[in-house]
Structure 1
Amino acid sequence: MVNELNGIRLVVLDMAGTTVADGGLVEQAFAVAAAELGVEPGSSDHVRKTDYVRATMGESKISVFRHLFGEESLARRANSAFERAYGELVDDGRIAPVTGARETIEELRADGRTVVLTTGFARVTQDAILAALGWQDLVPLTLCPGDVGGRGRPYPDMVLEAFLRTRAADDVRQTAVVGDTSYDVLSGVRAGAGLVAGVLTGAHDEEALRTAGAGHVLGSVVQLPSLLAELPSPAGAGR
């Protein structure tokens, strides 16, 4: 059961790049969406937009498209095209778990911790990923921006929603947030999580993760159980 010395009872894990290896599918799907909206491949506009997508990995995708295309109708067209393209790539078997991720989630749950999976994708894409991996029943709760009124990362809403819905912890400091992007990290910091960690299996490097506020940077999510076992209890967060 959960080590009473460290008190982490809720673990909020990102999907793509953290527990799910998508092999650059976000950028591939964006290229399809951008082309559909008339952005010429290889143009300076395409490069600029792709750079922004890369920099904002982890953010709600509709928010990214609102920034890139401005007009709401265009943003929604881009988002629909992106979700469709990404879903087709998933259906083609172009997605897999990060090595050891499923086993890590099972270990965390066996230790008595509640695990929630979060994403910046829409629900339809999140469900497609879960189905492709056979993860539909792996955790008790999965969340996307649409589940929290549309505010995805870097806002703290999904972390706080996980805290409220699961009732796994008495204090938000008993929550760990783990992701591969600066926006994942920021969401955990802003939520007041007791542990915020970055992983190096996805979009952003250690410098970006540390700058965003990661207290720990792991090579992979598989190192998380060992980290949790070594932590002292956050002040005032014990039961």
Structure 2
Amino acid sequence: MTDDERRSMIELVCLDMAGTTVADDGTVIAAFRSAIEAAGLADGSAEHSSALDFAAETMGQSKIEVFTAIFDGDATRAAAANTAFEASYAEGLVAGASAVPGAEEAIRRMRDRGTRVALTTGFSARTRDALLAALGWQELCDLVLSPGDAGRGRPYPDMVLTAVLRLGIDDVRSVAVAGDTTSDLLAGSRAGAGIVAGVLTGAHRETDFATVPHTHVLPSVVELDQLLAADADTRTAA
């Protein structure tokens, strides 16, 4: 199947939140730093540095799973860190949340063309919903999913496949997945999505995306909308 054939049949777009549709500006890493310090990792220690490196590498994945790995399976410390992370994040990004430039308009245009749109995130449902409320996005998309809604978070394909099932999509090749991390791209590829696009508005760069399967690297979700719109125009003209 060619790229043009994949784009021509896209019925569902799954978009990440922080760094993809929601501006981040380092707030997630800052919240991680606050969380691991609250859980006992002293700033300047080797453990602190290693934890921050791991957080950057696993950006986009389920936050509680990341903390569980950092604290070697200690569920109590992981839960405490996750609570601290959510509190710090709420004080930062949620309080002054803003969209990636053009993202909201791109989502509205996709839906106006009849494409279903799902937001997926590694945040808990509580943090996710607070962020949606701060943005006024409660009704923006067809579906919003956190790891707890699907079974496992990224890089597993569960959230993408849950969106496919809940929204009644017949073929996973009719799905486009876009995100700013390699975890997003792995999840989309493992789900069998027809388009798997890395966007350059968040955590990872083109060199990072080169290490995992994908179909496109785009400046932002605005260009994904333009890509799909161009194909819709072509089909209409035909």
Report if TM-score (shorter chain) is over 0.5: yes
Q: Which amino acid aligns with 1:189?
A: S
1:43 Cα offset (Å)? 2.0
For residues 107 and 212 of structure 1, the distance between their equivalents in structure 2, rounded to whole angstroms, comes to: 29
Aligned to 1:83: 86
- Distance in 2 (CA, whole Å) between partners of 1:211 and 1:98 is 25
The aligned counterpart of 2:164 is: 163
* 2-structure distance, mates of 1:229, 1:138: 19
8 Å CA contact 1:57, 1:181 repeated in 2: yes
Q: Is residue 6–residue 230 contact of structure 1 (8 Å, CA) maintained in 2?
A: no
Partner of 2:77: 74
Is the partner of 1:96 in helix, strand or coil? coil
Task: Give, in angstroms, the shift of residue 231 of structure 1.
Answer: 5.6
| Unaligned residue ranges in structure 1 (runs of 5+) | 233-239
**Percent of aligned pairs with the same residue?**
54
Question: Within 2, Cα distance between the matches of 1:11 and 1:91?
Answer: 24
Provide the aligned C-alpha RMSD in A.
1.7
Q: Quick one: structure 1 residues 73 and 31, their matched pair in 2 at CA, closer, same or farther if it must change by over 3 Å? A: same
Q: In 2, Cα distance between the equivalents of 1:142 and 1:5?
A: 23
For residues 171-228 of structure 1, the C-alpha deviation after alignment (integer angstroms, 9 at most, x for no partner) is: 1100000000000000000000011000000001112113211210001110012222
Say whether the 8 Å CA contact 1:197–1:218 is kept in structure 2. yes
Residues 41, 131 of structure 1: alpha-carbon distance in 2 compared, 3 angstrom cutoff: same
Matched-pair contact (CA < 8 Å) for 2:6–2:195: no
**Distance in 2 of aligned mates of 1:77 and 1:127:** 20
Pick closer, same or farther for the CA change 1:91–1:60 going to 2, 3 Å.
closer
Letter in 1 for 2:37: A
Mapped to 1, the partners of 2:113 and 2:53 lie a distance apart of: 40
Runs of 4+ in 1 over 6 A off after TM superposition: none
1:211 correspondence with 2:214:
no
Q: Which residue of 1 aligns with 2:138?
A: 136
**1:211-230 paired onto structure 2 within 5 Å:** 211-230=211-230
Q: Secondary structure at the match of 1:18?
A: coil
TM-score, with length taken from structure 1: 0.91
Q: Which deviates more from structure 2 when the two are superposed, residues 29-38 or residues 108-117?
A: 29-38
Q: What residue is the counterpart of 2:186 in the other structure?
A: 186
Which segments of 5 or more consecutive residues in structure 2 lack a partner in the other structure? Answer: 233-238
Q: How far 1:73 moved relative to its partner?
A: 1.2
Cα distance in 1, alignment partners of residues 90 and 148 from structure 2: 17
Counterparts of 1:23-172 in structure 2, within 5 Å, are 23-70=25-72, 71-93=74-96, 95-149=97-151, 151-167=152-168, 169-172=169-172
Alpha-carbon distance, 1:45 to partner: 1.6
- Once the two structures are superposed, what CA deviation does each residue of 1:25-58 show, in whole Å capped at 9, x if it has no partner? 1111111111111111122221111011001000
Report if aligned partners of 2:95, 2:134 keep a CA contact under 8 Å in 1.
Answer: no
Residue pair 2:196, 2:216 contacting (<8 A) in 1 also: yes
Residue identity in the other structure for 2:91: E
- How many residues are aligned here? 227
Specify the SS of the correspondent of 2:59.
coil
Q: Offset at 1:91?
A: 4.5
TM-score (norm 2): 0.91
Query: What secondary structure sits across from 1:212 in the alignment?
Result: coil
Say which SS state the counterpart of residue 21 (structure 1) adopts. coil
> What are the Cα deviations for residues 92-140 of structure 1, in whole angstroms up to 9, with x where unaligned?
31x2100000000001001110000000000011011101111011012
Q: 1:5 to 1:194 in 2, by over 3 A?
A: closer
Give the distance between the partners of 2:29 and 2:122, measured in 1 at CA: 14
